[in-house]
Amino acid sequence: MSRKYFGTDGIRGRVGEGVITPEFFLKFGWAVGRVLNRKTKKKNGCTVLMGKDTRISGYMFESAIQAGLISAGVDVLLTGPMPTPAIAYLTRTFQACAGIVISASHNPFEDNGIKLFNTDGTKLPDEVELEIEAELESTMTMAERLGKANRLTDAEGRYIEFCKGTMPWGFSLNGFNVVLDCANGATYHLAPKVFTELGAKVTTIGVNPDGLNINLDCGATKLAQLQKKVLEIGADLGIAFDGDGDRVMFVDHQGEIVDGDQLLFIIAAYRKRIENSCEGVVGTLMTNFGFELGMENLGIPFARAKVGDRYVIELMKKNGWLIGGESSGHIVCSDVTTTGDGIISALQVFKALVAEEQNLHDLKQSMQKLPQVMINVPVKSSVDVDTHSGIQSAIEEAVAQMDGKGRVLLRPSGTEPVIRVMVEGQRRDLVADLAKKLADVVGEAVS
């Protein structure tokens, strides 16, 4: 059964358009409450833990969802601005019926959305999302017993201690000079404390949110400011989170970007060489082919999932593997936490740096990336790229030109109205040329 509202990562869109309105969020809260009340076995009823990122519309939607949940007879614990993975962790530790995050992740402030977590801190199952969608078609009624809301005043401290507690006893970042870019988002008040308390010298950018500047020319998707600051102060490395804190990207001391594939490789290689504990790794269809070759050289099994951290986690569970991730910086270490977590992933990279006694620039050399170009083509009309004859002919021509030494991937984004055109191969000039030609063909088809 297809879903009407939920995408690959919750519900997301432009504020004031489609379902991203206070009216919908009010009824959404009610529908969630109704479904959870039917499922809960707790004598004291159901409690939902709710947080948000720093975008200005979060205040409006927080009030609307809160009212909907309360009208359905559900109690609410409010955390204020908190990273998405922090809500997953707190949902689990408080044994709440569910966790809700109001966020549009790496998108600009004009967008917003909702992510949901199950009581165990994992993404809400598809069948529960379908039940919520079905409930949204019902007429809204008031519960006999109304819920109530309380604020969780120590959420920040709890999560900071959890992050630090994922590292071995006595672990220290003393001697590291680090720049943190918090994207003016949900990690702005947390990440600097985690790394400072572990002993690092920390310089910060993107820690002054005003509701409008989240992800604005900063964070994991815009690394120029971080690169400049690392070189300016001679830092050992820089770390960038996205607006809701579930992605992470690094910059080494030479100002070079270290992406999610390279970070995941560093973590996997460390676990294999030092801990002898890496049974396998899950990537996605977008994972660089150089990563796959590197895993083969290390004797680590590798599998590709569909793009989206929920699919990475599903395949990890199916294979019984503990780590997986995406090029974008979503990295999941399921023996540490239940979902992608930018701060914890960064600490896992530091764990490898300390054990290997190498700087990030040198350590990343163990994986040789193949040139990869991705172009986002805006979608104006719906087209099935898998059956469109012109697009398929262009793909076949591109693959033939690479003579079996590259790959092409076209896929609709699950979070934005674009089709992602990716070409990967050994020759950078050829890859760039083919990607542009393919993007032009796709652009004509969807215009």
Closest CA to 162 of 123, 193, 203, 204: 193
Could you give phi then psi for residue 103, rounded to 5 degrees? -165, 155
The per-residue pLDDT for 167 is: 96
Which segments of 363-444 are extended strands (E)?
A: 372-378, 406-412, 418-425
Query: Phi, psi (5° rounding) for residue 332?
Result: -120, 125
pLDDT digits (tens, 9 = 90+) for 260-269: 999 999 999 9
Two tokens, residue 393: 């002919």
Which band of pLDDT confidence, cut at 50, 70 and 90, is reported for residue 280?
A: very high
Question: Taking the model in full, what pTM does it have?
Answer: 0.90
- Phi, psi angles (nearest 5°) of residue 92: -70, -45
* Strand-pair category, 323-325 with 281-284: parallel
Computed over every residue of the chain, the mean pLDDT equals: 94
| Phi/psi of residue 6, nearest 5 degrees | -80, 135
* 78 backbone dihedrals φ, ψ, rounded to 5°: -100, 130
Mind listing the pLDDT tens digit for each residue in 8-30?
A: 788 999 999 999 999 999 999 99
Q: Look at residue 233 in the predicted model and tell me its pLDDT.
A: 98
Greatest Cα-to-Cα distance within the chain, rounded to the nearest angstrom: 68
Q: Is the pLDDT of residue 165 over 80?
A: yes
Residue whose tokens read 């569910």: 98
Torsion angle of C-alpha atoms 34, 339, 418, 423, degrees rounded to 10: -150
* pLDDT greater than 80 at residue 168: yes
**Higher pLDDT, residue 426 or 268:** 268
Q: What is the DSSP letter of 215?
A: T
Task: Please report the pLDDT score of residue 315 as a whole number.
Answer: 97
Please say if the pLDDT value at position 136 is more than 80: yes
- The CA distances from residue 319 to 152, 191, 301, 332, 435, in Å, are 37, 32, 10, 14, 33
pLDDT at residue 101 in the model: 98
Residue 1: predicted pLDDT: 54
| pLDDT band with cut points at 50, 70 and 90 for residue 417 | confident
How big is the chain, counted in residues?
447
Number of neighbours of residue 19 by Cβ within 10 angstroms:
17
- Share of residues in the chain with pLDDT > 70 (%): 98
Residue 415's nearest CA partner among 286, 261, 308 is 308
Cα(273)–Cα(296) distance, integer angstroms: 14
Tell me what the mean pLDDT of segment 268-284 comes to: 94
Structure tokens at 15: 């504020």
One-letter identity of residue 348: Q
Return the HEC string of 97-147.
CEEEEECCCCCCCCEEEEEEECCCCCECCHHHHHHHHHHHCCCCCCCCCCC
In angstroms, rounded to a whole number, what is the distance separating the alpha carbons of residues 237 and 393? 44
Residues with a known catalytic role: 105
DSSP β-ladder status, 47-52 and 75-81: parallel
pLDDT digits 0-9 by tens, 83-130: 999 999 999 999 999 999 999 999 999 999 999 999 999 988 889 999
The residue behind tokens 């609709």 is 412
Domains defined along the chain, listed by start:
11-153 (3.40.120.10), 176-257 (3.40.120.10), 259-344+352-366 (3.40.120.10), 372-446 (3.30.310.50)
**pLDDT tens digits, residue range 288-331?**
988 998 999 999 999 999 988 889 999 999 999 999 999 999 99
